[in-house]
Structure 1
């Protein structure tokens, strides 16, 4: 990839920036943080939300950029909170999700991320999913969002009990970012 390629990440979420900047280093991508709210439409589709947010961000910042939209999907709750994860975190938070899951045996869940890149010429989305389940209580103090209750398949620990490097072995965001990196390598070669 050309050394002068710089991609901006539009987010107000410092945890998301920290995770993605570590990923960017691994793939030799220069990632700039533009600390800004993204415009987010109401939709049940993460890709639609991510694409429209990226398009609107490009109209403001006029540079190659990415936008990430992620959700926690819990099948026993009809895939709630899904695309409304950020709002649910701000309102009922982790304790609210645990309360909703009281006496429910199926605690399976998955995280999904859609990262959309645009440079004004193209718009392209990349997704990643990690399956797992919801713990019975909060555990760990690392990460952000619902990390203290999400246990990925193949693990006994929550994301919040893992180092960033360990989390990235399973991470939905890492899976999407690695697809983005592969695309950028070809696009800017």
Structure 2
């Protein structure tokens, strides 16, 4: 089976390729010559994931899946949420995003947060979604050099290492994207 993963984010591609069985060939947007930025104008994580797959189906004709992920911080009423990648501005600068979040949480006791990934799948004319959540908390300084985005400040529940300190295999096992991808694989194999 060949399926398009509607992203150009090489970190996401690496994470997902590590999870899917060899019977599924993953194509990137670059592989289908989609070089433009796909609009993400929904005000929900699920809406953005759906918007991406429908864009690829309508403009390129491929069955595909896409994800959108947000970091939801309890004391900030779910922020940055759907705006996680652009929290500190349109440049999508991970360090600036983390600094803005750490500043917003300064002197806050409640640092509970969760990563939420929604995968939308467009397959044979049917649209389906899969959701993965990983609960944890935001620590007060960056730790680790693996991962991407908010990984250096996110400490998953039950762990003493941030996502940026954990090996990819462990992050995929407990993480939000890994959980959503496992649901996707189970559906594709059924």
TM-score (norm 2): 0.90
Mapped partners of 1:29, 1:179: distance in 2 = 14
Check conservation: 1:39, 1:57, Cα contact below 8 A. no
Kindly state the Cα deviation for residue 119 of structure 1 after the two structures are TM-superposed: 2.9
Structure 2: unaligned runs, 5 residues or longer: none
Q: Residue in 1 aligned with 2:160?
A: 156
Q: Residue in 2 aligned with 1:73?
A: 72
Q: Residue in 1 aligned with 2:38?
A: 38
Say whether residues 1:94 and 2:98 are aligned partners.
Answer: yes
Check conservation: 1:147, 1:159, Cα contact below 8 A. yes
Superposed CA RMSD in Å reads 1.5
Mapped partners of 1:157, 1:106: distance in 2 = 19
Equivalent residue pairs, number: 180
Check conservation: 1:50, 1:114, Cα contact below 8 A. yes
2:151 to 133, 147, 151: 147
SS, match of residue 67 in structure 1: strand
Deviation beyond 4 Å, 4+ runs, structure 1: none
Check conservation: 2:146, 2:163, Cα contact below 8 A. yes
SS, match of residue 47 in structure 2: helix
Check conservation: 1:116, 1:124, Cα contact below 8 A. yes
Mapped partners of 2:23, 2:98: distance in 1 = 35
Q: Residue in 2 aligned with 1:6?
A: 2
Cα deviation 1:152-174 (Å, max 9, x = unaligned): 11101100001100111211001
Q: Which has the higher helix share?
A: 1
Mapped partners of 2:123, 2:107: distance in 1 = 48
Mapped partners of 2:188, 2:173: distance in 1 = 21
TM-score (norm 1): 0.90
Q: Residue in 2 aligned with 1:24?
A: 20
Structure 1: unaligned runs, 5 residues or longer: none
2:126 to 99, 122, 125: 122
Task: Name which of structure 1's ranges 49-58 and 171-180 shifts more when overlaid on structure 2.
Answer: 49-58
Check conservation: 2:48, 2:68, Cα contact below 8 A. yes
